Amino acid sequence: MKKPFAITLDPGSSLANHTGSWRTERPVYVDRLPPCNHACPAGEDIQGWLYHAEGGEYRKAWESLMKNNPFPAIMGRVCYHPCEGACNRGKLDESVGIHAVERFLGDEAIRRRWLPEVTAEPSGRHVLVVGSGPSGLSCAYHLRLMGHQVVIMEAESRAGGMMRYGIPQYRLPRDVLDAEISRIASMGVEIRLNAKVADIMDVIEGYDAAFLAVGAHIAKRAYIPAGDASRIIDAVSLLHGMEENSATLLGKRVVVYGGGNTAIDAARTAKRLGAEEPLIVYRRTRERMPAHESELQEAIEEGIRFKWLSTVKRMEEGSITVEKMILDDAGFPQPTGEFETIGADSLVLALGQESELDLLKSVPDIETANGSVKVDSSMMTNHPGIFAGGDMVPSEKTVTAGIGHGKKAARNIDAWLRNEKFSPPEKHEIASFDMLNTWYYSDAPKIRQKALDLARRQSTFEEVIHGLSEENALFEARRCLSCGNCFECDNCYGVCPDNAVIKLGPGSRFRFNYDFCKGCGLCAAECPCGAIQMVPESI
């Protein structure tokens, strides 16, 4: 080619100049652990299912959720959502209403009759589950997904355990409970009702492994001197009776003794049965009350009264005597010798629960202590092949923890049946708030779920908290910051001054072109969700 005057070289492209050699640090895409996922006792991939919900793909979101938890409609109602306490958005405006979106997905699945698919090959192994509470059902569900045959033996006439006999209907409507339990039954899990296991060794034959989850149904008692005509009952029986259509007669003036969620449930139930302003007596202060703040708030709204720093000394006909307490330096309540008499027609004790462990009488090698069973990190008792979980092992005794136990036990049972050991995948680094670039997120306040009219909350057992509409659920899902996980906002692709980010297309994320990446770190700094990490180059 004839070149113009004074030109001796052909024009070339700068692509020949590999500026990647300048780099001292390289960006890498990472998936960090969102704090919500880290906080979930059931091990849900919350950010993962919210990602699908954000796009309006509710079926996909539900399927993703169901990988870890078979009860979204129940959990969306009764879980105390530690995820929301950990949510990074809480540091920006307010945490994402994860439970409300979960409930929406769960209700949507019930409404549209979505069913999980069992795709695993039948393993030919049989597992016995004792107890159909959250833990037992969750374990059975996961074992079934892995291809095992599962039989659940349940002592009561209906399945659900404490979800039915402990949680009042105004928090968990029974049609929702029934729908999610029957979905598990429809997968081929056999639930035998009225089948109380008196001795595990009598029934275990023919099964390759067993999971015990009998819960904690025995109310702890305290010695309270009482006259002949005084009415003392325990909260467990009160709540259980509500399911048997044999509501206990409590009278107008009801005192509940205890400070946990069960105490609140008992007081709110008493209110709905006609008690005027039930009174909860607790020996410590409001701050030290184990009941969850949301429950406490709802109870106060409904007119439940509280008497802090008090213990019940005795009960006579029509009254109780309480002693005032003070907290010592260690935070323990100490008696003061000051007494007070309070009018009361009945006293409901909500002082904690224990497990009935009679079924273990022929397995002396299983270790028990304080009314609960000892298990190792794989949820197995000292007896090979017998696993246990839920409220009968030491734990925080919530539905969510029970569901988590069930999943964990199922994975370990599955491995144990194959003579293997289940090793959970290594956890990623937590995506903390300081790893985010929150500039990019739109401002958006949380959507409040509407609540039932207060008058109806005091007289009926209708559900108190309403669900979100689709529009609101979509909005709430989109408040997710997607902490630590790429959501394809194209920022890295856009802000690279060297075009060294290759966009791979929807769903496929991005790749770095290290031939040209100079390692400036702009992509990592401008990534909203902290999904890019700068790592030193080895020189």
Q: How many residues bind other proteins (CB under 8 A)?
A: 55
Site pattern 442..461 for other proteins (x: CB under 8 A): x-x-----------------
Work out the angle at residue 473's Cα, subtended by the Cα atoms of residues 461 and 452, and round it to the nearest 5 degrees: 20
Q: For 216-371, where are the alpha helices, taking DSSP H only? A: 235-243, 261-272, 293-301
- CA dist., res. 266 & res. 347, Å (int): 11
Q: For residue 31, how far is the Cα from the chain centroid?
A: 22
**Residues 403-442, mask of contacts with other proteins (x by CB under 8 A):** ------------------------------------xxxx
4 binds other proteins (CB under 8 A): no
Does 378 engage in binding with other proteins (CB under 8 A)? no
* Integer Cα distance of 422 and 84 in angstroms: 29
The nearer residue to other proteins, 9 or 229, going by C-beta atoms, is 9
Pair of tokens at residue 59: 């079926």
Q: d(Cα 465, Cα 168) in Å, to the nearest integer?
A: 13
Output 25 or 356, the one with its CB closest to other proteins: 25
Q: Among 79, 9, 80, 68, which residue's Cα sits nearest to residue 43?
A: 68
Provide the 3-class DSSP secondary structure of residue 62: helix
Binding flag, residue 536, other proteins (CB under 8 A): no
The reply to whether 497 sits near other proteins by the rule CB under 8 A is: yes
In the 8-state DSSP scheme, what is residue 464?
A: S
Output the DSSP codes for 336-371. Answer: EEEEEEEE-SEEEE---EE---GGGTT-TTS-EETT
Length of the chain measured in residues: 539
The amino acid occupying position 209 is: A
Q: Which residue among 494, 511, 536, 537 contacts other proteins (CB under 8 A)?
A: 494
Instruction: Tell me which stretch binds other proteins (CB under 8 A): 262-270, 329-337, 395-403, 467-475.
Output: 467-475
Q: Which of 240, 272, 411, 479 binds other proteins (CB under 8 A)?
A: 479
Q: Of 14, 245, 377, 419, which one interacts with other proteins (CB under 8 A)?
A: 14
x/- contact string, 17-56, with other proteins (CB under 8 A)?
xxx--x-------------------------------xxx
Report helix angle 58-66 to 46-54, nearest 10: 170
Pick the binder of other proteins from 33, 75, 500, 531 (CB under 8 A). 500
Buried b (16+ CB within 10 A) or exposed e, 438-468: eeebeeeebbebeeeeeeebbeebebbbebb
Among 277, 356, 474, 533, binds other proteins (CB under 8 A): 474
Name which of residues 512 to 531 contact other proteins (CB under 8 A). Answer: 513, 515-516, 518-522, 524-526, 528
Counting contacts by CB under 8 A, is residue 538 touching other proteins? no
Residue of 92, 495, 514, 533 interacting with other proteins (CB under 8 A): 495
Chain residues binding other proteins by CB under 8 A are 9-19, 22, 54-56, 439-442, 444, 471, 474-475, 478-480, 482, 487-491, 493-495, 497-500, 503, 505-506, 513, 515-516, 518-522, 524-526, 528, 534
